[in-house]
Amino acid sequence: MSNVPADLKYTEEHEWVRTEGDVVVVGITDHAQGSLGDVVFLDLPEVGRQLTRGKAFGVVESVKAVSDLYAPVDGEVVAVNSELVNAPEQVNKEPYGAAWMLKVKPKSAADVAGLLDAAGYAALLAKIAK
Amino acid sequence: MTLQRTPLYEKHVAAGAKMVDFGGFEMPLKYSTETAEHLAVRNAVGVFDVSHMGEVFVEGADALLVMQRLVTNDAAKIVDGQAMYAGLLNERGGFVDDVVVYRFHATKFLVCVNAGNQHKDFAWMRGAVAAMALERPGLDCVVRNEGALWSQLAVQGPKAIDVVAQLCGEHVRGIGGYCFAAGRVGGDAQGIIARTGYTGEDGFELYVHNEHATALWDAVVAADAVPCGLACRDTLRLEAGMCLYGNDIDDDTTPLQANLGWIVKLDGRPPFIGHAALVAEKAAGPARLLRGLEMVERGIARHGYDVVDNNGVKVGVVTSGTQAPFVNKAIAFALLDRAHSAPGGTVAVSIRGKPVKATVVKLPFHKRSK
**pLDDT tens per residue, range B46-86:** 999 999 999 999 999 999 999 999 999 999 999 999 999 99
Of the residues A2, A62, A63, the best mutation for testing chain B's interface (the one with the most B CB atoms within 10 Å of its CB) is A63
* Inside any domain, residue A52: yes
Task: Please state whether beta strands B180-184 and B288-295 pair in parallel, antiparallel, or not at all (unpaired).
Answer: unpaired
Residue B125 φ/ψ region, left for φ over 0, alpha for ψ in the -120 to 50 degree band, beta for the rest? alpha
Q: What is the mean pLDDT of residues B349-369?
A: 96
Mean pLDDT calculated for residue range B342-369: 96
**Which amino acid, one-letter code, is at B352?**
R
| DSSP codes, B15-82 | TTPEEEEETTEEEEEESS-HHHHHHHHHHS-EEEE-TTSEEEEEESTTHHHHHHHHBSS-TTSSPTTE
In 3-state terms, chain A is what percent helix, strand and coil (to 5)? 25, 35, 40
Cβ pair B300:A66 closer than 8 A: yes
The distance of B99 to chain A (nearest Cα, Å) reads: 25
Of B69, B204, B196, B52, the closest CA to residue B113 belongs to B52
CA distance linking residue B202 with residue B207, whole number of Å: 17
Residue B32, chain A, CB below 8 Å: the answer is no
Q: How far is A38 from chain B (nearest CA, A)?
A: 7
Stated pTM of the model: 0.95
Which pLDDT value is given to residue A30? Answer: 97
Is the pLDDT reported for residue B271 higher than 80? Answer: yes
Q: Is residue A78 part of a domain?
A: yes
For chain A, what is the domain count?
1
Question: Can you tell me the distance from the alpha carbon of B95 to that of B114, in angstroms, rounded to the nearest whole number?
Answer: 12
Smallest Cβ–Cβ distance between A63 and the set B34, B298, B299 belongs to B34
CB pair distance less than 8 Å for B323 and A41: yes
Gap between the Cα atoms of B49 and B103, Å rounded: 23
How many degrees, rounded to 5, is the angle at CA B281 between CA B277 and CA B282? 120
Strands A66-70 and B346-351: unpaired
Chain A residues in contact with B327 (beta carbon < 8 A): none
Question: Scanning every residue of chain A, which has its alpha carbon at the shortest distance from the alpha carbon of B230?
Answer: A64
Partner residue opposite B33 with nearest CB, options A38, A41, A61: A38
pLDDT digits (tens, 9 = 90+) for B284-341: 999 999 999 999 999 999 999 999 999 999 999 999 999 999 999 999 999 999 999 9
Q: What is the mean pLDDT of residues B152-163?
A: 98
Sequence length of chain B is: 370
CB-nearest to A64 from B231, B330, B352 is: B231
* Distance in Å, alpha carbon of A81 to nearest chain B alpha carbon: 16
CA-wise closest residue to A90 among A60, A55, A66:
A60
- Contact B234/A at CB under 8 A: yes
User: What phi and psi, each to the nearest 5 degrees, are found at residue B306?
Assistant: -75, 145
Question: CB of B152 within 8 Å of any CB in chain A?
Answer: no
Q: Does B357 touch chain A (CB under 8 A)?
A: no
Question: Pick from B30, B300, B352: which is nearest to A40 by CB?
Answer: B300
> What confidence score (pLDDT) does residue B1 get?
62
Determine, yes or no, domain membership for A106. Answer: yes
Is residue A119 assigned to a domain? yes
Q: State phi, psi for A21 to the nearest 5 degrees.
A: 65, -125
For the domain covering B9-52+148-239, report its CATH number: 3.30.1360.120
Report DSSP state, residue B231: H
- pLDDT of B187 reads 84
CB contact under 8 A, A63 and B298: no
Q: Which CATH class is domain B287-361?
A: mainly beta
| Within-domain flag for A2 | no
Q: What is the mean pLDDT of chain A?
A: 96
**What percentage of chain B carries pLDDT values higher than 70?**
99
3-class secondary-structure state, position B178: coil
* Cβ <8 Å between A61 and B325: no
Could you tell me if B196 and B148 are in contact, meaning their C-beta atoms sit under 8 angstroms apart? no
pLDDT digits (tens, 9 = 90+) for B313-328: 999 999 999 999 999 9
Domain at A108, CATH number: 2.40.50.100
| DSSP output for A67-115 | EEEE-SSSEEEEEE-HHHHH-TTHHHH-TTTTT--EEEEES-HHHHHTS
pLDDT of residue B45: 98
Which pLDDT belongs to residue A109?
Answer: 87
A43 contacts on B by Cβ (under 8 Å): 352
Domain range for A27: 9-129
Query: How many interface pairs between A and B have CB atoms less than 8 angstroms apart?
Result: 35
Nearest to B245 by CA among B236, B235, B253, B256: B253
Is the residue at A1 inside a domain? no
Q: SS3 of B173, please?
A: helix
Specify the amino acid at residue B177.
Answer: G
Which residue of chain B comes nearest to A86, CA vs CA?
B298
Cβ(B130)–Cβ(B137) under 8 Å? no
What is the per-residue pLDDT for B188?
85
* Best to test chain B binding among A2, A42, A44, A64 (most B CBs inside 10 Å): A64
Tell me the angle at which helices B160-168 and B213-222 cross, rounded to the nearest 10 degrees: 130
Interface TM-score (ipTM) > 0.90 = no
Task: For residues A114 and B168, give the distance between their C-alpha atoms in angstroms, rounded to a whole number.
Answer: 63
